[in-house]
Amino acid sequence: MKAAESRYKTAYLIYPHYPGVPDNGYGKVTLATLAAMLCDQFELTVVDEPDCGLVDCDAKIDVAFLIALTGHEQRIAELYREFSSRGVLVVVGGPLATMSSELIRPHCDVLVKGEIDDVHRELFAEIASGDHKNEYVYVTANPVNSPLPRWDLLPSHHKEGTIQASRGCPYNCEFCLSSKYAGSKMRIKTSDQLLTEITNLYGMGYRYINFTDDNFTMHTRFAKQFLREMADWNSRQTLGECAFFMMASINATRDDELLELLRDANVRSIFIGIETPVSQSLLDSHKRHNLSGLPMVDKLRKFMEYGIMPSIGLTSGFDADPPDIFQRQLAFIREAGVPIVRCGLLSAIHNTDLYLRLKREGREVDDTFMQYPTWLNFEPRVMSRDRMQLGLRWLLSNAYAPSAYGDRVGMMVQAMLESERSKLSLPKNAENTVLNILEHTLQRLELLGAEEAEMAHRGRQYVKANKEVAGAVITAVGGYRHYRRINDKLGLYRPEYIGVDLDELFAAEAPESGRSNKQALSMLAN
């Protein structure tokens, strides 16, 4: 423990690099919020490694505060080695530090477990004084006590800002850590807090705001009240409307009033964790709520009928998945007509129920292996790990084939136009601005190649026929560019796989080998 008279004055706040995986917004809002907590105690520099590159470990600082999420353990270890060799105090907190402290404890001087909103002033004053503990353990906090995020301290500003309105999830999906980390009871900021955050981001030039809540619509009464306030706020803005993006459960489609309010608040897109069209896989993973009510495809189309574009997440590798799981996933994507899809392989995240079950069953799980979104860290039952990798590449290549993606954009546009409930319109006094953004977006799409240029042409035709769909086309095309960039970076998009029979591809490139888990992991890691 440091001597009481010593003081730490200069600090880095770092969101670590995670190779191949972009930040989903959670990292940035966490950075901005922690920056607000720390800036009163330290001369603070905020470092967003996924955005701005690796930190300069030779900088003259006293303390390095590191945010630890799943997948960050390797980078945390690297940063600790670099900073500790230079006499810098390393403090680590976040979900990974909380739920898997045994992975992080060797790589920090001070470990902070739990949420700190209620105690951040006392905690950071103690660290600044030098008279600190080696470990702090807290539980859940009241997000009402969270300060206004300091976006101005972040090293750069993107077009999309992020807000966390609530914490906690009542569901207990086997593969997910959310309810274990944040609790099953939802805790929500006040409407005044959230409107202040929105106004702050808007004043900084943000016109796209993403809510990072696991399920924004879960607390229906709050959601309805706040969506009305969002719509009223948006109607009063003189510099153009703000578009919002959220995550929600598919159960939102049961409530027409809720869908109307989402539409009126200008919620442009909602991400839904579909996971799989295989019912048994959903049952086994405790995601039964996806099975109730209308067929899944009809639920997704209902969002479109209200002018909201659903985007979906699909996962393969569940024990109950059939051998043709990738073909079934692609058929589902085509039938649903949802343009933006995130496809990945199941990961047994450390200390989730899935991870603990696999351990009980004696199935080998690699704790250190890169998990999301391209590798399994356990041996699946459905097929070899090699074949799962190849199947994922085939699925993403066919899902993001420009002609197929353009077809789904057309299906979405048609569903919106055919419904009187969509109430599509361009923002008042901003029609030219939206159309200019659309043209800029399509021109950037054309730069990707001839097939993308054809997709851009189709987008212009959709808008020429009905300019009110411009916002939906912008969102869909922007999603294509974003996820194509990710898939290209990860080596997941292979044009030569488009239209190829997957079973023939398996036979040619990934015959069943019978390799051991360690052999397969070693091969994939290289």
Rounded mean pLDDT, 85-94: 97
**What ranges make up the beta strands (E) of 227-283?**
243-247, 267-275
Model pLDDT, residue 23: 58
Give the type of residue at 488.
Answer: D
pTM of the shown model: 0.91
Q: How is residue 3 written in tokens? A: 């001597």
| Lowest pLDDT segment from 16-20, 198-202, 240-244 | 16-20
Phi–psi pair at 47, nearest 5 degrees = -120, 115
Rounded mean pLDDT, 386-397: 95
Model pLDDT, residue 181: 84
DSSP assigned state of 400:
T
Model pLDDT, residue 514: 44
Contact criterion met (CB below 8 Å) for 320 and 279: no
Please say if the pLDDT value at position 469 is more than 60. Answer: yes
Q: Which residue has the tokens 């495809």?
A: 297
224: burial class by Cβ within 10 Å (0-12, 13-18, 19+)? middle
Confidence of residue 24 (pLDDT cuts 50, 70, 90): low
Rounded mean pLDDT, 239-253: 92
Rounded mean pLDDT, 319-333: 97
> Rg of the Cα trace of the chain?
23
Model pLDDT, residue 21: 57
Please say if the pLDDT value at position 30 is more than 70. Answer: yes
Please say if the pLDDT value at position 49 is more than 80. Answer: yes
Full set of structural domains in the chain with CATH: 10-142 (3.40.50.280), 159-413 (3.80.30.20)
| β-pairing verdict for 187-188 and 166-167 | antiparallel
3-state secondary structure of 312: strand
End-to-end Cα, the chain, rounded Å: 41
Task: Encode burial over 242-275: b for 16+ CB neighbours within 10 A, e otherwise.
Answer: bbbbbbbbbbbbeeeebbebbbbbbbbbbbbbbb
Rounded mean pLDDT, 396-413: 97
